[in-house]
Amino acid sequence: MPRPNNREPGFSLIELLIVVAIILVLAVITVPNLLRSKIAANEASAVQSLRQIATAELSYSTSYPAVGYAPDLPSLGGPPGCTPAPANACILDDIVTSRNKSGYLFFAAGFVGGGVTNTTFVASAAPQKFNTTGVRLFCIATDDGSLRSKPGTPGAVPATDVPTCIAYPSM
């Protein structure tokens, strides 16, 4: 039976353009939400990693009382199957001690406080790409052990000492 009009079966160019326009509108709406959720996930990972570093610092100071807190972040880790020693305590995995995880840069160090042992430490994190991998800076210091954060800025680096960390507001 012939068709009542002379149209070929299929979609017209206008119909295809309307579908493409709808897809573009949906993409404009969803991409920013996707980026915000990725930033939130990166920040949650950074916070968890800082808590792991703080716990590892306490374990390190208990295991090596002559040293106190670990002098740097790599001292808390070591290669898989390592033998614990002050230079590589094998407490943290190598992903965290590589100083780079989930779009954040990490720093940790112990500081000598009047004697020969490290009596304080700071652990901190800053986003690698501000507004893409994260928007806040985080840190934990021995003074009160609370997690602190502040808004970041492009090019910000992790806090490298206890006074800088203590200046961040508590979470």
Q: What does the pLDDT look like over 34-62, one tens digit per residue? A: 889 999 999 999 999 999 999 999 999 99
- Which residue is listed with tokens 């893409």? 132
**Cα–Cα distance between 59 and 51 in angstroms, integer?**
12
pLDDT at 144 over 70: yes
Compute the radius of gyration of the chain from its Cα atoms. Answer: 25
User: Could you give the count of Cα atoms lying within 13 Å of 125 in the half-sphere of its Cβ?
Assistant: 32
For position 152, what pLDDT does the model report? 93
Per-residue pLDDT at 5 exceeds 80? no
Q: How many C-beta atoms surround the C-beta of residue 141 within 10 A? A: 24
Span 97-110, average pLDDT: 95
Q: Which of 131, 129, 120, 136 lies closest to 54, judged by CA?
A: 120
Question: Between the CA of residue 81 and those of 10, 78, 89, 92, 99, what are the distances in Å?
Answer: 63, 8, 11, 12, 20
- The CA distance from 159 to 122, in Å, is 8
Q: Is the pLDDT of residue 6 over 80?
A: no
| Closest CA relative to residue 73, chosen from 39, 102, 101 | 101
DSSP state of 23: H
Average pLDDT over residues 148-152: 96
Question: Which of 27-31, 49-53, 147-151 is the least confident region?
Answer: 27-31
pLDDT above 70: percentage of residues in the chain: 96
What sections of 12-106 are H helices per DSSP? Answer: 13-63, 94-97
Is residue 169 within 8 Å of residue 149, measured between CB atoms? yes
Alpha carbon distance 70, 89 (integer Å) = 9
Whole-structure pTM value: 0.82
pLDDT at 92: 94
The average confidence (pLDDT) of the chain is: 91
